[in-house]
Amino acid sequence: MLSLIPLTGIPIVQPRDDLGELIAASLAPSGVAPLGDEDILVLTQKVVSRAENRFVDLRTVQPSPRALELAARTSKDARAVEVMLWDTDEVVRVGPRVIVVRHRLGFTCANAGVDASNVAEPGAEMVLRLPDDPDLSARRIRARLRELTGAAPAVVISDSHGRPWREGTVGVAIGVAGMLPVQDLRGVPDLFGRALQITLVGFADQVAAAASLVSGQANEGLPVVLVRGLPFQPDDTASARQIVRPPEYDLFR
Q: Footprint of its own copies on this chain (CB under 8 A)?
A: 1-5, 12, 93, 95, 98, 100, 107-108, 115-122, 160, 163-172, 181-183, 185, 188-194, 196-198, 200-203, 205-207, 209-210, 212-214, 217-219, 221, 230, 242-245, 249-252
Give whichever of 131 and 171 is closer to its own copies, judged by the CB atom.
171
Nearer to its own copies, 129 or 140 (CB): 129
DSSP codes joined into one string, 26-95: HHTTTT-PSP-TT-EEEEEHHHHHHHTT-EEEGGG----HHHHHHHHHHT--HHHHHHHHHTEEEEEEE-
CB 160 to its own copies: min, Å: 7
Instruction: Give the torsion sign (CA, 53, 221, 181, 150).
Output: positive
**Smallest distance, its own copies to C-beta of residue 62, A:** 23
3-state secondary structure of 218: coil
Q: Give min distance, CB of 143 to its own copies, in A.
A: 26
Between CA 22 and CA 25 the distance in angstroms is 5
Residue 165 to residues 162, 168, 229, 248, Cα–Cα distance (Å): 9, 10, 33, 22
Q: Which is nearer to its own copies, 76 or 140 (CB)?
A: 76
> Which residue lies nearer to its own copies by CB, 21 or 250?
250
Closest distance of CB 204 from its own copies, Å? 8
